[in-house]
Structure 1
Amino acid sequence: MTLLKTYSMSSKSWYKSVLLVFAFAMINPMLGRSQELNCQVQINSQQIAIGDNTIFDALQQSVFEFMNNRRWTNDKYSPAERIDCSILIQMDKRLSTDTYEATFQISSSRPIYGTTFSSNVFKYQDESVQFKYLQFDVLDFSTNAYISELTSILGYYAYVILAMDYDSYSLYGGDENWQLAQQIVSNSTSSGQAGWQSFSSRNNRYWLVQNYLNPRFKPLRECQYKYHRLGFDQMVDNVQKGRAEVTKALTMIEKVHKAEPNSFNTRLYFTAKNDEIIKLYSKAEPSEKEQIITLLETIDPANSNKYSDIRTAGQ
């Protein structure tokens, strides 16, 4: 029987007993060879007036199959281990017969050990994305070459989702996937499309992956691991101890904040986490609340008003 990521055999097999997995394996020899992503896909085309909407149905199906049917890594996944994620494509404009401008909303989550809950890992809105698509187009993709804008973007976010997930189970476990995402960026730079270049913005696809591979951002990746594995995954046994580990993990982001104040990656991290953090500390002791509020207002000033609610939460 082969389980997900050799470094994490106990991390993602929590929800299926060994006997159950073995039974399925006996029935279906393909078990353990499943694809990595469980991606929900939705296309919203309400802003575009077009006579035949079947093209958007076809696009939705094509994106769904692209994300879910492709093998992105050489690791072995069981169906229960697939990463829950979603892509919402808001079609904003039709620029020509086959060219569109859209907003991509991407998110992913991972289970919390011993519970039925999940924790948001990644959440991002990529705006003003332009791509070509005709009904019945085949979505070709390669990590070694730029083939189309649509598949480059989808492939890029597939590897970002994988990298973020692997980082949450093993310290710097997402390195290989971050490097593949960076390779897609390098392949796409010459396309001239927005989001792939370093000079067009500090808040884009280029900088997302570039920062995560920068040694200055290692504390943020270490936080990602400790927040989940040493913090949330331990709360089934001891909430107070798990919460204390989350505090230690978040404290590590101070190093990133001092080196790169208000960085794109730090803001993205808290976009996914701020509501969860507020809920976690709502039942903490007053002294613990004050400690975390002071820290969060420093490292995530954009959400400082929300964090002040921790003081009165749970009373």
Structure 2
Amino acid sequence: MLIFVGNGIGQELRCNVTVSARGIQGANQNLFRTMQSDLYDFMNNRKWTDHVYSYDEKIRCNILIRLDEQISADEFKGSIQVQLTRPIFNTSYTSTVLNIKDNDFHCKYVEFQPLEFNETSNRDNLTNIMAFYAYVILGFDYDTFSEEGGTEYFQKAQAIVNNSQNARERGWKAFESERNRYWLIENVLNKSYSSFRTCMYNYHRNGLDLMSEKVEEGRANIADALRDIQKVFRRRPSTYILQMFFDAKADELVNIFSKSFPDERNRVMAILNEVDPSNGRKYEKIAENEGF
């Protein structure tokens, strides 16, 4: 595995990029080192917004690309995992906002050839995927600081999806899967599921950020925010953004509410067991009143 962690000198993102090509036997590892360095520069040194960030304000995220198959000298398939974390006000704690694994990573890469991204075409699937997730990262980060504050960036991600409808690579079209890039951005911008974004704001800004000063009030706001997730579930249980939410938040929720009052714990557990039964065993720790 190759790991590239720079000084974060760049624009909005402080993005660590890792490329693993262990699944490809006999491959030229120098190629993947160069690919990794190029992708790091693409994510960190490109200006994605009109805003000015200090070093400490940069958005912390991680991208892990696993290449499992080499189709030709310059064509690869694998997966990409995207993680976004957010600092919590007045603490050293960082909360995981996103933890997405996308199994439809298919790209061409030519060593030493500049990476080009065009917002109005699907010329290069590699830079389209990376730019898509850059805007998704920005959108979710902004949503946690102001209500629906990330709309502009989600719309940019949606434009990339729209431009990629004729792409031969998977991941961009509705009929290919119920959990891909198309459905991620469709769910986020779908007004029928707007309570999801309300939850993201209240969970982080009125919940976690408040807990350093007012633990009980902040925790109660998080419990209320989960009702918004419940609304999405009752509208459409298989919605992709629900899986995304709990992939990022299940362990954190156990940590928060295992220190809660009995009535609050019971209310939260009832919601969690309804909307996220797959993590039911994990949520049993809440009832045991144990942190970790």
Fold match, TM over 0.5?
yes
User: In structure 2, what is the equivalent of residue 66 of structure 1?
Assistant: 42
1:81 aligns to 2:88 (yes or no)? no
**Post-superposition offset of 1:299:** 1.6
Matches within 5 A, 1:26-175: 35-50=11-26, 52-175=28-151
Retained in 2: the 8 A contact 1:282–1:311?
yes
Runs of 4 or more off by more than 4 Å in structure 1? none
Task: Trace 1:216-231 onto structure 2 (pairs within 5 A).
Answer: 216-231=192-207
Match of 2:262 in 1: 286
Q: Tell me the residue number matched to 1:296.
A: 272
For each residue in 1:142-165, what CA deviation from the matched residue of structure 2 results, as whole angstroms up to 9, or x when unmatched? 222222110000000000000000
> How many angstroms does 1:47 deviate by?
1.5
Match of residue 285 from structure 2: 309
CA RMSD of the aligned region, Å?
Answer: 1.3
Moved more, 181-190 or 136-145: 136-145
Relative to structure 1, the CA distance from residue 85 to residue 57 in structure 2 (aligned partners, 3 Å threshold; closer, same or farther) is same
- Give 3-state SS (helix, strand or coil) of 2:84's partner: strand
Matching residue within 202, 211, 216 for 1:235? 211
Unaligned ranges ≥5, structure 2: 1-8
Q: Helix, strand or coil: the match of 1:76?
A: coil
Distance 2:110 2:279 in 1: 41
Question: 2:4: which partner in 1?
Answer: none
The answer to whether the Cα contact below 8 Å between 2:75 and 2:106 also exists between their aligned partners in 1 is yes
Deviations 1:231-287 (A, max 9, x none): 000011111111000001111112111111131111111100110010011111222
Counterparts of 1:34 and 1:61 in 2: how far apart (Å)? 14
CA contact (8 A) 2:18 2:36 kept: yes
2:10–2:46 CA contact under 8 A, matched in 1? no
**Alpha-carbon distance in structure 1 between the residues aligned to 2:218 and 2:60:** 24
Q: In 2, distance between residues paired with 1:193 and 1:76?
A: 35
Q: CA deviation at 1:180?
A: 0.2
CA distance in 2, matches of 1:70, 1:255: 37
TM-score by length of 1: 0.87
Residue by residue over 1:148-205, the C-alpha shift from the partner in whole angstroms, topping out at 9 and shown as x without a partner, is 1100000000000000000000001011001000000011111121110011111110
Ranges in structure 1 where 5+ consecutive residues have no aligned partner: 1-32
Contact 1:91 1:100 in 2 (8 A): yes
Q: Percent of pairs identical after alignment?
A: 39
More divergent stretch after superposition (293-302 vs 155-164): 293-302
TM-score under structure 2 length normalisation: 0.94
Contact 1:34–1:77 (Cα < 8 Å) also in 2: no
Question: Structure 1 residue 253 and structure 2 residue 229: aligned?
Answer: yes
Residue correspondences, number: 283
Between 114-123 and 139-148, report the one with greater CA deviation. 139-148
| CA distance in structure 1 between the aligned counterparts of 2:118 and 2:256, rounded to whole angstroms | 41
- Letter aligned with residue 71 of structure 1: K
1:182 aligns with 2:151: no
Larger Rg: 1
**Residue 217 of structure 1, CA deviation:** 1.2
Q: Does 1:210 align with 2:186?
A: yes
